[in-house]
Amino acid sequence: DAGITQSPRHKVTETGTPVTLRCHQTENHRYMYWYRQDPGHGLRLIHYSYGVKDTDKGEVSDGYSVSRSKTEDFLLTLESATSSQTSVYFCAISESGQRPYEQYFGPGTRLTVT
């Protein structure tokens, strides 16, 4: 398995509080992604990063921000959490090179906003 860890693995927070989720990789892959998974929606891309300090929006980026100050870390921040952001969040990585860029996923963070 790719060396991807996510922290925390579970979090319960109150509406209106800020929350930061961390993704850490030991594979030195260039690209990192944040997805959310909700029943009936499959996985949806929130943001992704194509290098240190280089990020872009995905399909469902409203209410989320990201930062990548080091190759190995990609942070997802909910500035003011809402109940609609209750979800399971997955981080993924992909490498540059000759292989067609399959993504490898972390174990997920289950976030509950009350």
Rounded Cα distance between 91 and 75, Å, is: 10
Question: Which of 11, 30, 38, 63 forms a contact with other proteins (CB under 8 A)?
Answer: 30
Give the footprint of other proteins on residues 53-112 (CB under 8 A): 56, 58-59, 88, 90, 92, 94, 96, 100-108
Q: How far is the CB of 90 from other proteins (least distance, A)?
A: 5
CB nearer to other proteins: give 48 or 78: 48
Binding residues for other proteins, how many (CB under 8 A)? Answer: 29
**Nearest residue to 5 via CA among 86, 84, 112, 108:** 108
Q: Which residue from 3, 13, 45, 61 is in contact with other proteins, where contact means CB under 8 A? A: 45
Question: Cα torsion at 46, 47, 48, 51 (round to 10°)?
Answer: -160
**Within 13 A of 13's CA, how many CA atoms are on the CB side?**
23
